[in-house]
Amino acid sequence: MQNIEAHIAKDREELAKAEASGDQAKVRHYSSELEALETYRSQHPGEHKDPTTLEVHCNLNPEAPECLVYDD
Q: How confident is the model over 3-62, as pLDDT tens digits?
A: 999 999 999 999 999 999 999 999 999 999 999 999 999 999 999 999 999 999 999 999
Q: How much is the pTM?
A: 0.86
For residues 11 and 32, what is the distance between their CA atoms, to the nearest angstrom? 10
In this predicted structure, what is the pLDDT of residue 72? Answer: 58
For helices 4-21 and 24-43, angle between their N-to-C axes, nearest 10 degrees: 160
Instruction: Note the helical H segments in the chain.
Output: 4-21, 24-43, 53-60
Domain locations along the chain: 4-67
**Residue 34 near residue 50, CB atoms below 8 Å:** no
